[in-house]
Amino acid sequence: SQKIEQNSEALNIQEGKTATLTCNYTNYSPAYLQWYRQDPGRGPVFLLLIRENEKEKRKERLKVTFDTTLKQSLFHITASQPADSATYLCALVTGPGSARQLTFGSGTQLTVLP
Amino acid sequence: KAGVTQTPRYLIKTRGQQVTLSCSPISGHRSVSWYQQTPGQGLQFLFEYFSETQRNKGNFPGRFSGRQFSNSRSEMNVSTLELGDSALYLCASSLEGGNEKLFFGSGTQLSVL
């Protein structure tokens, strides 16, 4: 069956360290993969998109890798801050043409401790 | 530019009733998608509308339906509510859909008693 798994429901790290979140998928062949951030009581906010032929994408303190052989994406936040505390969701873009849709993982709740 | 607006923000209904939720996408966005979010199941795709047509549908029963108007505003309806329908319902818009990033509203928190 198709599955998207994100590492451990909760991740606590110390301020200033690098947070690494994992997204593994099975029985999907995504053309794109996206990462979102969600704060309590709010809708997800788009962070980064990476295509299947891209190995790495960066945006400020954020870095995403995409390994289609391992069927895995890693999401890194460097020099983490308490304001980075939130739930992070990975989403796969699957399906053909106009039937493409985003399928989300269950999320990882990140807490950055001061 | 205004973001995605969902109304109402909170809603309390009883079993057997029906409910209509509203979503106004970002101006110029023609694709509107709906998701259900619960603590146990996470974000589940309901359906997507593009230019007033349902283009994609998730695995939800027929009690869940939607529509899109010519101004791209969208509504979703849930009939014969069940306790398990209690969830945060999120609407998201994008220019054309597909692989594009989504812009989400803050959602409607539905509680079914």
3-state secondary structure of B13: strand
**With pLDDT > 70 as the criterion, what percentage of chain B qualifies?**
99
Looking at residue B113, its pLDDT comes to 96
CB contact under 8 A, B107 and A43: yes
Using CB atoms within 10 Å of the CB of residue B16, give its burial: 0 to 12 exposed, 13 to 18 middle, 19+ buried.
Answer: exposed
Identify the weakest region by mean pLDDT among A92-96, B15-19, B46-50.
Answer: A92-96
A89 touches chain B (CB under 8 A): yes
Looking at residue A30, its pLDDT comes to 83
B99 touches chain A (CB under 8 A): yes
Closest by CA position to B97, among listed A39, A93, A50, A109: A93
CB contact under 8 A, B56 and A43: no
Which residue do the tokens 């809603």 mark? B11
Looking at residue A93, its pLDDT comes to 84
Angular region, A3: left φ>0, alpha ψ -120 to 50, beta rest: beta
Query: Is residue B25 pLDDT above 80, yes or no?
Result: yes
Give chain B positions within 8 Å (CB) of A102.
Answer: 33, 45, 102
Residue pair B42/A104 in contact (Cβ under 8 Å)? The answer is yes
Per-residue pLDDT band at B97 (split at 50, 70, 90): confident
Per DSSP, A99 falls in state G
Looking at residue A98, its pLDDT comes to 66
Supply the mean pLDDT for chain B.
Answer: 94
CB contact under 8 A, B106 and A43: yes
pLDDT 10s per residue in chain A (114 long)?
A: 778 999 877 899 999 999 999 999 988 888 789 999 999 989 999 999 999 889 899 999 999 999 989 999 999 999 999 999 999 999 998 777 767 788 999 999 999 999
